Amino acid sequence: MPKKLRVDMDQMLFTSDEETVLITNGITTCIAFIAQGSFWDEEEDDMVDFCGLYHWSGFRRVDTPLDQQAKNALLYFFKTLTSYTGIDRGEKITIDTLCFIGGEKEQRDSDNGLIVTGTEAEVYLLKQAVREFNFVAHQFIIASENISHHHFLTEGEQSISIKLTLDAINCKVESPEPYNSSEEELHQENLTGSSSLSSTLM
């Protein structure tokens, strides 16, 4: 039976257990960082697969410039991944899938009152940070086509739940009752690596 591990807001988990499912819920203005790949384990004397999930809540009210906060969040994710693998300097981590899911646009009511403070800035600056990130210098091997962004998928009371395994990403957009449910499979060409990512609109 699969082991389910919950990833709460601003938490991050990595696993190499094929029976483990990483789960996070309530993604709206937050953004999920997801990685799948492999590395050489000296103790196992073999390639080991991994997956990792970070539920990033976005910018904080601090003196750090917003673009630097986005860079810091990305670097924190990758440094934690490197620490998890325990690889030596000079060795490489292969990332087959790197995707970012979530973020929500600002929403106002009919009287122009603010309902949701959007995270358009987080999405824009995170994309910029990813484009500028020096993967090679940080011991990563990744092809640009294996990086994808899936943002602004929710509005109103909708939220996203994610289930992540070593070889699959399940992304479900959930709406409260009384909305009906329907299913929509995201096209395979929008995804990266060998993973399958499905989005269920409810």
Q: Would you kindly state where each structural domain of the chain is located, as residue ranges?
A: 3-167
Burial environment of residue 83 by CB neighbours within 10 A (0 to 12, 13 to 18, 19 or more): exposed
pTM over 0.75: yes
Report, at the CATH architecture level, how domain 3-167 is classified.
2-Layer Sandwich (3.30)
pLDDT band at 198 (very low <50, low <70, confident <90, very high): low
Structure tokens at 109: 């009511």
| Run of H or E residues at 198 | strand 196-201
* Maximum Cα interatomic distance, the chain, rounded to a whole number of Å: 63
Write down the pLDDT at residue 86.
Answer: 94
- Does residue 201 have a pLDDT over 70? no
Q: How confident is the model at residue 166 (pLDDT cuts 50, 70, 90)?
A: very high
